[in-house]
Amino acid sequence: MALGSSAPEILLSVIEIIGRGFKAGELGPSTVVGSAAFNLFMITAVCVSVLPGEDIRRIKHLRVFAFTASCSVLAYVWMYCILSVFSPGEIEVWEGIVTLLCFPGMVGTAFAIDVKMNFYRFIRKKIRKTKKNGHTVVQTGDGDVLAIAVKDGNQENNDKNHVDFDKDIELLAFKSGDDPEQHMNEKKRIAMEAYHRARAKNPDADASTLQHLVEQENLKLQHKSRAFYRIQATHRMTGQGNILRLKTSAEDKKNSKEAALQAEIREMNENVAKAGIKGTCVYFHPSEYTVVESCGTCYVTVVRVGERLFDTVYVDYETVQGTAEEGSDYEPAKGTLCFAPGDNSKTISINIIDDDIFELDEYFHVQLTGIRSENGKGDESTALGQPDKAMITILDDDYPGVFTLEHEKFEVMETVGMLTLRIVRLIGARGIIRVPYHTEEGTAKGGGEDFEDIIGEIEFNDEETVKTIEIPIVDGEEYEKHRVFNVVLGEPKIVHFEKTHISNLDTIENEEMRRILEAGKPALGEHKRCEVHIVECKEFKNTIDNMLVKANMANFLKSSSWMEQFKEAFEVEAGGDDEDEDGSGEPVEPSYFDYVMHYLCLFWKVFFALVPPTDIWGGWGCFVVAILMIGLLTTLTGDIASHFGCTVGLADSVVAISFVALGTSLPDTFASKVATINDETADGSIGNVTGSNSVNVFLGIGLAWSVAAIYHAANGTKFEVQAGSLGFSVLVFCILAIICIAVLMYRRYHKDIGAELGGPARSRKITSAIFVSLWFIYILLSAFESYCYINVNM
């Protein structure tokens, strides 16, 4: 990120050194110092005042900020020392290399502080014990808790856990940062909160739309690097709009096209599978029917599919006995169906015989026996499809019935809202019967915690075979869930029943069933109890999992082809905030400013579209070519700045600390502004400013001066660098930087403000005025020294 966000300042120093034959110049180093002053004073002034109302932003990782802020000052102190103290007027090889090596040292130390890396594991350390609420707490000298000893009730002597308090303890392990599992759980918690907000705002959204909305919400909440905010600011400044909106819109279009294509392919495959041939195919749809014996007539549907639907086709059919017998249970049927041109379906009607004798449920079949075209012969254009046989089950309705729940175990997602369970009436459907039911708690709790308790009776009317009961399930929106409760049926009761004769009992082998049938009473069947398992919503869990995997900010900064890059270069988009809709869900149209900036920057947008896409060579092609092109542009900028200063009569050092520094820091200004508004902390805005300033010295000055010093050492000459204006600027900056950081810390610990950024309007205005004044003081003092109005021997 340092090579990306600070590349102009770094490359300007390197290119100036090389371009001048490895001799020191004023433009590059002065730009680094001037850029640091603008970043620290002006950008911080903007960030303090940009928040609406009395909103505040505090630095979360204060230790990292304290370290980078110290480095940002010490870096310039070091720069002053090597210019004026260690070897005045000369930069030696070791000075340049040490300056360069400070960069990885600073980054590594900041990382270690950020993750709270444990250095204590490598040393021995004494501990002490204290007693709190009956427990023995083992602590280090600085208060870090290592263990908590509790009494073991199973031991007679009440020994403590394995801690020897009379000896020094060598720390083998000690909490260093967040536990990875805890960190992942925190990410899941944030993702679930985003899911809840998205669903509350869009209650009618389907699963895919909801997942998309949640991913967008998570992207907005994600911590974003300074590099992202610089890219976002550049996009808006050049009329390319919000990068999140651009990428998600493109992804939506891509997904919709893929979904439409997949749907079309599925439909074609289904048609081909159904037809099986190019002509006409005939089959039963559906192939299973259930009727009560008192229904009178059963209707069976035969359908035709294929390409030649305008031919006349004849299909033969006949009934086939099963356990149901012709003449006593149904009237046999045999005949021919005629599909006229354009007919897609035909119906076969079969009469069902009703009697008052109890029988077990029985079935028979209807078979398609042949198919032929209009000429009376079968050919390749006509065929029978599958299924070519339909089964009709006849339910006897001369017994009150046996009542059972359809499932012994049933799994339901917590988002179902209303659980529907079926109670089935078997072995008869005569009379009006009531079946009591109620819920019983298990690991799932009623009363609105996991489900709503219910108790009641459900009534089966005469000839009614299926009823449903509904149980409200409470959506706890948990990532993982598995809780159980039961639904229990009570003994069925007869409300109204016309007595009938029950015969054919000899065919029933089960003696218990014989007794029930002889008594003529309804009974409970196999499943008197259903065990309901409430589990997490798979869509919700997948949404959270996918969001944690897919909602990666890098996906919104990458490109896959040159065509995509050139297309984006010519497009004009609105440069609004992340909340880029106008309240009605419609995208905001580009403003006049967006169009003006687009056409002003069109040449450069097209020029940089030549950079290889990030998907090529793992992003290295993009990185290398982009650095080279930035270097080319930086060379041009340096020459223009020198000519400009020569034309208007300004010294290179003054041009560098003012115009060039302002130009290189302008994207950082917009990036910090956006970061201040969008982030919940101040780390992404002012926290990165101090780190960027340190990098500019260690990497920008260190790299350029190391190369030049090594070149001169190899040729037996000295790399001469006169402190002059640069040394004075560094000294002034260090003094003013300390004042700036002190003001920020005062704001943080002041009871009426309590944060580095934002706060009451009066304090914001005063703070911003102080910081702007510091920048003007720095510019004026540096300029006066350059023109010898101030004479300081450095």
More confident residue, 760 or 258: 760
Instruction: At 748, give phi and psi (nearest 5°).
Output: -65, -40
Q: Is the pLDDT of residue 398 over 70?
A: no
User: Tokens in use for 712?
Assistant: 């001169």
Q: Is 385 exposed, middle or buried (0-12, 13-18, 19+ CB in 10 A)?
A: buried
pLDDT tens profile 317-352? 999 998 888 888 899 999 999 988 888 888 999 998
User: Tokens in use for 526?
Assistant: 């196999």
User: Tokens in use for 529?
Assistant: 């109890």
Which H, E and C letters describe 560-618, residue by residue? CCHHHHHHHHHCCECCCCCCCECCCCCECCCCHHHHHHHHHCHHHHHHHCCCCCCCHHH
Sequence-distant (6+) residues with CB within 8 A of 204 are: none
Place 193 in a pLDDT band, splitting at 50, 70 and 90.
Answer: low
Tell me the β-bridge partners of 372.
314
Report the 10 Å Cβ neighbour count for 124: 9
Q: Please tell me the distance from the alpha carbon of residue 602 to that of residue 571, in angstroms, as a whole number.
A: 10
Residues 173/121, Cβ–Cβ less than 8 Å = yes
pLDDT tens profile 413-446? 887 888 889 999 887 777 888 999 999 998 888 8
* DSSP type of residue 396: P
Task: Give the model's pLDDT for residue 742.
Answer: 93
Pairing of strands 288-292, 389-395: parallel
pLDDT tens profile 281-295? 888 888 888 887 778
DSSP, collapsed to helix, strand or coil, labels residue 432 as strand
What sign for the dihedral angle of Cα 487, 490, 494, 499? Answer: positive
pLDDT tens profile 154-179? 433 334 334 443 333 333 333 334 45
Residues 117/125, Cβ–Cβ less than 8 Å = no
* Host H or E run for residue 210: helix 207-221
Fold exhibited by the domain 281-395: Immunoglobulin-like (2.60.40)
Task: Give the model's pLDDT for residue 583.
Answer: 45
Q: What is the Cα 168 distance to its own chain's centre?
A: 47
Which H, E and C letters describe 323-348, residue by residue? CCCECCCECCCEEEEEECCCCCEEEE
Q: Is the pLDDT of residue 211 over 70?
A: no
* DSSP type of residue 501: B
Sequence-distant (6+) residues with CB within 8 A of 283 are: 302, 303, 368, 384, 385, 386, 387, 388
pLDDT tens profile 25-34? 777 777 788 8
Task: Give the model's pLDDT for residue 607.
Answer: 87
Encode 577-601: b = buried (16+ Cβ within 10 Å), e = exposed. eeebeeeeeeebebeeebeebbeeb
Task: Give the model's pLDDT for residue 261.
Answer: 41
CA-atom Rg of the chain in angstroms: 41
Could you give the residue range(s) of every CATH 2.60.40.2030 domain in the chain? 281-395, 402-504+511-536
Place 206 in a pLDDT band, splitting at 50, 70 and 90.
Answer: low
Residues 674/65, Cβ–Cβ less than 8 Å = no
Q: For residue 387, which amino acid is it?
A: P
Q: How many CA atoms lie within 13 A of 42 on its CB side?
A: 21
Which H, E and C letters describe 15-53, residue by residue? HHHHHCCCCCCCHHHHHHHHHHHHHHHHHHHHHHHCCCC
pLDDT tens profile 527-564? 889 999 988 776 666 666 666 555 555 555 566 678 88
Pairing of strands 127-132, 135-140: antiparallel
pLDDT tens profile 516-529? 455 557 788 888 89
What ranges make up the beta strands (E) of 238-279?
A: none
User: 221, 293, 212, 289: which is closest to 253 by C-alpha?
Assistant: 212
Place of tokens 């010294």: 651
Task: Give the model's pLDDT for residue 225.
Answer: 56
Could you give the residue range(s) of every CATH 1.20.1420.30 domain in the chain? 1-116+603-787
Task: Give the model's pLDDT for residue 440.
Answer: 92
Q: Please tell me the distance from the alpha carbon of residue 397 to that of residue 292, in angstroms, as a whole number.
A: 7
* Host H or E run for residue 382: strand 382-384
User: 779, 775, 683, 737: which is closest to 45 by C-alpha?
Assistant: 775
Report the 10 Å Cβ neighbour count for 221: 16
Q: Please tell me the distance from the alpha carbon of residue 333 to that of residue 322, in angstroms, as a whole number.
A: 14
Percent of the chain with pLDDT over 70: 67
* DSSP type of residue 460: E
Tell me the β-bridge partners of 299.
349
The answer regarding whether domain 1-116+603-787 maps to CATH 1.10.540.10 reads no
Residues 91/81, Cβ–Cβ less than 8 Å = no
Place of tokens 């869009």: 202
Sequence-distant (6+) residues with CB within 8 A of 769 are: 45
Residues 171/121, Cβ–Cβ less than 8 Å = yes
Q: Please tell me the distance from the alpha carbon of residue 120 to that of residue 400, in angstroms, as a whole number.
A: 79
Q: Is the pLDDT of residue 227 over 70?
A: no
Residues 657/786, Cβ–Cβ less than 8 Å = no
Q: Give the CATH number of domain 402-504+511-536; options: 2.60.40.2030, 2.60.40.10, 3.30.70.260, 3.40.50.10360.
A: 2.60.40.2030
Task: Give the model's pLDDT for residue 184.
Answer: 53
Tell me the β-bridge partners of 383.
281
What ranges make up the beta strands (E) of 108-230?
A: 124-125, 127-132, 135-140, 145-149, 169-170
Over residues 254-276, the mean pLDDT reads 48
Place 501 in a pLDDT band, splitting at 50, 70 and 90.
Answer: very low
Percent of the chain with pLDDT over 90: 12
Residues 420/470, Cβ–Cβ less than 8 Å = yes
Distances 572 to 236, 253, 599 between C-alpha atoms, Å = 10, 18, 9
* Host H or E run for residue 219: helix 207-221
Q: Please tell me the distance from the alpha carbon of residue 39 to that of residue 663, in angstroms, as a whole number.
A: 11
Q: Please tell me the distance from the alpha carbon of residue 602 to that of residue 583, in angstroms, as a whole number.
A: 31
Q: Please tell me the distance from the alpha carbon of residue 60 to that of residue 223, in angstroms, as a whole number.
A: 12
Over residues 121-142, the mean pLDDT reads 48
Task: Give the model's pLDDT for residue 192.
Answer: 60
DSSP, collapsed to helix, strand or coil, labels residue 491 as coil
Sequence-distant (6+) residues with CB within 8 A of 744 are: 44, 686, 756
User: Tokens in use for 35?
Assistant: 């850029």
Q: What is the Cα 72 distance to its own chain's centre?
A: 35
Q: What is the Cα 370 distance to its own chain's centre?
A: 58
